[in-house]
Every structure is written in C-alpha cells, then in structure tokens.
Copies of this chain bind each other. A is one copy, B any other.
Amino acid sequence: MLKYKERIFFGVQDTISGYLIDRLYEHGVRHAFGVPGDYVLAFYDQMHKSSIKIINTCDEQGAGFAADAYARLNGLGLVCVTYGVGGLKIVNTTAQAYAEKSPVVVLSGAPGVKEQEKDPLLHHKVRDFDTQKKVFEQVTVASTVLSDSQTAVDEIERVLAAAIQFKRPVYVELPRDMVMAKIGGHIHQRNAVIPRTDQTSLAESLQEAAAMINEAERPVILAGEEVHRFGLQDSLLEFVDGTRIPVASTILSKSVINELNPAYIGIYQGAVGEESVRRYVEASDCTIILGAMLTDLTLGMFSARIDKSKLIFATSEKISIKHHHYEGVLFADFIKGLSGLGIKSRQPQTIFRRKLPRRAKASKKPVTIRYMIQALNKFLKDDMIVITDVGDALFASTELVIRGNTQFLSPAYYASLGFAVPACIGAQTARPDLRPLVLVGDGAFQMTGTELTSAGRYGLNPIVVVLNNGGYLTERLLLDGSFNDLVNWDYASVPKLIGKGRGFSVLSEEDLDKALAASIKEKQFCILDVRLDPADMSKALRRLTAEMAKKVR
C-alpha cells in the first residue's frame, strides 16, 4: 500500500475521491469499515491505493457498529457501502450514532449521474434515485450527493465540519462516475467556518457558575458522554482535582473519569441506580451537569429529581444556569474555563471511596452474575476497554471499577442489541493498545456475533464473554412468553466455524477463572460461553425492570 505522503504525488488528489480521501485522512480517519458492492467498487479501489485501510465485515450492519465504536474513540469514523442494499442496511447503526453522538461518515456509492438519466430501473434502486438520501436525512446532521464537480469540495467541507462540530453522523453519496471526476473551481478553504465562542458571554456564564458553586455547601458534578466525545477528559480531571467536588457519571458516560479517583462517587441513575448515590446527588444544592443527555435510562426511567433552580447545565447544545441560557458559548470553552476561576477546594469526600471488591474463592458451583462481575473486576487490566451490549451485559457491568487507562463503551441510550461484537472490531482497530473485554448477552450475540470473523482476519484479540441464559432476560422481567426464548448455541464452537480464535465452555466458577487466565495469554480472540441461571440477574437490572414494567401494558 502506498503511504499517504507518497500518494499525494500521484496526482489523484484533484479528483473528488482523492480530495475526499485526503480530507478524511487529515481528520484522523485511517480505516474504513464496509462490504464492497458494484456501485462503490471504484471508490474502494481508490481507498485501497491510499493509506486508508479497508476493514471488511460480514454484513454491513457489522460495519456500521464498528465505525460507530471507532468514531467514539478516534474522533471520526468511516463506513463505506454500496447503494441501497448496503446503505439501507445501516440505517439503524447510523440512528444509534445520531442518538448517542458519534461522528460517523456514511459513504455510499451510487449509480453514475449519467446512468440515472431517464430514471431507469437499475438494480438496488427502491423508488427514486434520491430515496436513500431522503432516508439518511432523518438520521444524520448533514447529507450531500457529490454529483457536481464544481461544488464537491464545498460540500465535502460542509458535511465533514458538521460531523466534527455536532459529533453526529453525516451522509455522503458518491455516484460512481464522479469518483475520478476532477474537482472544479478553486479550493476556497479547507476548513469550513467553525463557530467560535462569544468571549463576553463566556466570561459572564463562568462568573455566575463560580459564584453559585462557591456559595454551595454540597456541589456535585454529573459528567456525561460529551466529555468523552469532545476529548475533554483532561479538562474535567483538572477541574475535579482542583476543587475536589464529588463527581458522578451516567450509565452512558461510565469511564469518563478513573473510578478510583477519590472524588468519584458512582453512576447516578435516579431510583434505578445505587440509592446512596441518588441521595447524595439529589440532596446537592448545586448540581453541575457537564455534557450529559438527560435520557430515560440516564434518569432511571425519569425517577430522577434534580431541582432546576440549583442547576448548572452545560452541553454542546446549550449552556444553562438555573432557568436562563447563554448564547454563543461552546461546551469545550466552558468546561476548560471552569478551572481558571479560583473555585475553592473542598474537603475530599470519603463515603464513596471506591475499592476493588474482594472476591470469593472459585468453587465448582455454577457461575452467578455476582461472581462473574467480581471475577472480571479482578481480571480487568489497565490496557483494556470494556465494551458491553444491551441488557444485563450493560447493567451488571456498571459494577465494574474502571481504572487507569481502561475505557468503557456501550450503547446505553439508544440501546441497539448486537452492538458489542462488531464494536470491538472498530474499537481495537482505532486503539490497538487497548484489548477489548466484551460482555454480550446470548440474544445480542446471535444477531452479530459472527462478526468475530474480522477479528481473525485482522489479528485482533478481544475477549468475548457471552452471558448465556437462554433468552431475552430484560424482556422476560417485563412480560414473558415463549417469544423471549432463545435457541441455545454452542458459543464455544464459533472458532471452529470461522477458523480462528479459542472457545471456552464455562459451567463453574473454576471454569471461568481458568478460561480468563488462558485468554489473557492468547494472541487470538477468545470466546467464553458462560452458562447462567435464567433467573439470575444483577441488582441494577432488577431495579430498572421494576420501573420499566410500569409502562409495558
């Protein structure tokens, strides 16, 4: 493969595909996830000759989830698919990226502009040639069809800038006869206008916030997922370390701060989370919410009680204090500004000081959720990323103590089953220094688990723990029927099917310990089929489903 610096001398950068690949590369994109198809083959060929590496997945859905995880860790992600049969398979994964603020570029091939004349019935066409674009307009912040070489550069700049500013997906459709079209006009500017903070407004908002925090006796910070997305973890840490104000995360932002930090108090989730965290947060006389979306799951099915008149609420969408809003203040500038205000330092909190939980000795008894979490807490290494699917894979793993450089990734708002396995492909591709520890229920695994094929292909080595309880447990707790049953797969035989990896059947606590000990030494992916009692569950799931069940009938 040609290196980027070489490639630009090959003179293709003045084509639409060349310019697009250059700009994606400059924004940090090094990989494209996807499945090829005839309308996008010419673009695949151009990528193949560039320094953007193509990562094949089994199905486009897998590519969509992988690109989402990659984008969350890398700042921008790319999924590249063919028209119709490719693009329309990733509407759901793009919707999740929209809902949870992940900047994914959806690049779709399309019939050539000339082919579209007279509106013929070309294969992969649904109703009109713009049907796919209309669909994606519903789930992206910007979209374009690069059908005009005179405007292509401006359009590329516009949509990429939107993805980066809003941390949400964008849609780019490239008709195949435009791939090698020369870009026209002059290149105005490589960077679209990025909004800037109004400094007067910023200063006023920070001063008001500082006064409010200093007057408060028990301020508390609720740090959300946008701190992650905008790469502001260090700014948050500076503020927290300087003031010692206690900080909670949400279920969506878990790992935004090292959970062994003395100021960390746990995950706030209204009545669904730990009662002590709930009481602490709701008794606060100054709640500082930084970059958190207030969703039903974040707020414990809206059981949360936070008084707006004691609230500082900063997100990428707006900055509010009590009942008024500040215009023109960027989230990043606000959070960075908090540390330069001389806000007074508090006594360190002690009641929530986290410790790594002790663990019982392994026995020959069947594995419980409780034992599994204890074992994983001990097992977790400083260079791991915990990736969970939806269900008790997510809720139980909120009890894992995320420390050091460990990260935590899950679709804790949009909650699309089947995310975790393909996400680990994207995550380890973006961060080869982090080994994925994947927690996934059997239902979710049956949707996308064979995407481990890509782990074998590209030398990735996630450790995948399948919570095998024979059904959709969360739904069983809401309203049960045989429709919540699953066929029992032999998950440990996945390596036999796809020709790589190592499988373990885990029937007892001892089996789990042995399988984890063996997995950590493996250079290939490992899959642990952990048999659980169908009625076993975490406390968090029990609390959540008690709230959720009220709405089902």
Task: Give bound CA distance, A124 to B417, whole Å.
Answer: 11
Would A59 and B447 be within 8 Å (CB), given that A490-B496, A493-B497 are in contact?
Answer: yes
> A498 touches which one: B139, B474, B487, B548 (CB < 8 A)?
B487
Q: Quick one: which of A98, A138, A418, A548 has the most chain B CB within 10 A? A: A138
A551 CB to closest chain B CB (Å) equals: 6
Contact A126/B112 with A85-B414, A134-B138, A475-B38 known, Cβ cut-off 8 Å? no
**A120 in contact (CB, < 8 A):** yes
Interface residues of A (CB under 8 A from B): 35-38, 41-42, 44-45, 48, 54, 56, 58-59, 61, 84-85, 88-89, 91-92, 95-96, 98-99, 112, 115, 120-127, 131, 134-135, 138-139, 176, 179-180, 293-298, 302, 413-418, 443, 446-448, 450, 453, 456-457, 472, 474-475, 478-479, 481-491, 493-494, 496-500, 548, 551-553
Q: How far is the CA of A84 from the CA of B484 in the complex (A)?
A: 19
- Chain B residues near A302 (CB-CB < 8 A): 120
* A61 cross-chain contacts in B, Cβ below 8 A: 59, 61, 89
Q: Is the CB of A48 within 8 A of B481?
A: yes
Taking a contact as CB atoms closer than 8 A, the residue among B131, B138, B176, B478 that contacts A127 in the complex is: B138
> Assuming the A-B contacts A123-B295, A414-B123, are A453 and B44 also in contact, with contact meaning beta carbons closer than 8 angstroms in the complex?
no
A499: chain B residues at CB < 8 Å are 487-490
Given A84-B414, A446-B59, A499-B488: A131 in contact with B138 (beta carbons within 8 A): yes
B294 contacts A121, CB within 8 Å? yes
A90, closest chain B residue (CB): B92
Task: Jot down 14 A-B pairs with beta carbons below 8 A, ordered by A.
Answer: A36-B475, A41-B475, A42-B479, A44-B479, A45-B479, A84-B416, A85-B414, A121-B293, A121-B295, A121-B298, A450-B450, A453-B487, A493-B496, A497-B497
A142: min CB distance to chain B, Å: 13
A298 nearest CB neighbor, chain B only = B121
Contact pick for A54, options B415, B483, B552, CB 8 Å: B483
Say yes or no: B98 contacts A36, CB within 8 Å: no
Partner of A548, one of B35, B38, B489: B38
Compute how far the CA of A42 lies from the CA of B549 in the bound complex, rounded to whole angstroms: 11
Query: Complex formed: what's the CA distance from A297 to B122 in Å?
Result: 8
Chain B's closest residue to A415 (CB) is B123
Find out whether the CB atom of A59 lies under 8 angstroms from the CB atom of B418.
yes
In the assembled complex, the Cα of A457 lies from the Cα of B487 at a distance in Å of 7
Of A294, A491, A551, the most chain B CB neighbours within 10 A belong to A551
A sample of 20 more A-B contacts (CB under 8 A), given A85-B414, A112-B551, A121-B298, is A38-B475, A38-B551, A42-B552, A58-B446, A58-B447, A61-B61, A61-B89, A84-B416, A85-B92, A89-B91, A98-B127, A122-B296, A123-B296, A123-B414, A125-B414, A126-B138, A127-B139, A176-B553, A180-B553, A456-B487
A295 to B121, CA, bound (A): 5
- CB distance B453 to A413 under 8 Å? no
What are the 6 A-B residue pairs with the smallest beta carbon separation, nearest first?
A: A88-B92, A121-B295, A85-B416, A58-B446, A59-B447, A91-B91
Complex Cα–Cα for A38 and B478 (A): 8
| Known A59-B446, A416-B85; contact A115-B489, beta-carbon cutoff 8 A | no
Give Cα A489–Cα B454 distance, bound, in whole angstroms: 12
Give chain B residues whose Cβ lies under 8 Å from the Cβ of A180.
553
The reply to whether B38 and A176 contact each other, CB–CB distance below 8 Å, is no
Nearest Cβ on chain B to A87's Cβ, whole angstroms: 8
Give the residues in chain B near A456, CB-CB below 8 Å.
Answer: 487
Contact of A414 among B126, B484, B486 (CB under 8 A): B126
Residues on B with beta carbons closer than 8 Å to the beta carbon of A446: 58-59, 450, 453
Q: Give A107 Cβ to nearest chain B Cβ, in Å.
A: 14
Q: Determine if A41 and B85 form an interchain contact, defined as CB atoms under 8 angstroms apart.
A: no
Docked CA distance A176–B414 (Å): 18
Complex formed: what's the CA distance from A450 to B479 in Å?
27
Docked pose: A91 CA to B127 CA in angstroms? 13
Bound complex: CA A393 to CA B122 (Å):
20
Point out which of A44, A59, A297, A472 has the most chain B C-beta atoms below 10 A from its C-beta. Answer: A59
Specify which chain B residues have a CB less than 8 angstroms from the CB of A48 in the assembled complex. Answer: 481-483
Closest to A450 in B: B450
Q: How far is the CB of A44 from chain B (nearest CB, A)?
A: 5
With contacts A38-B552, A139-B131 taken as known, whether A481 is within 8 angstroms of B44 at the C-beta atoms is yes
Return chain B residues, CB-CB under 8 Å to A485.
56
Beyond A99-B126, A548-B38, is A121–B450 a contact (Cβ under 8 Å)? no
Bound complex: CA A204 to CA B151 (Å): 53
Query: Assuming A453-B446, A499-B487, is B413 touching A123 (CB within 8 A)?
Result: yes
How far in angstroms is the closest Cβ of chain B from A106? Answer: 13
CB distance from A65 to the nearest CB of B (A): 11
| A457: chain B residues within 8 A (beta carbon) | 487
**Complex Cα–Cα for A124 and B295 (A):** 10
Query: Smallest distance from the beta carbon of A113 to chain B beta carbons, Å?
Result: 12
Q: Known: A58-B447, A478-B41. Is A176-B552 also a contact (CB below 8 A)?
A: yes
| Cα–Cα distance between A298 and B139 once the two chains are bound (Å) | 33
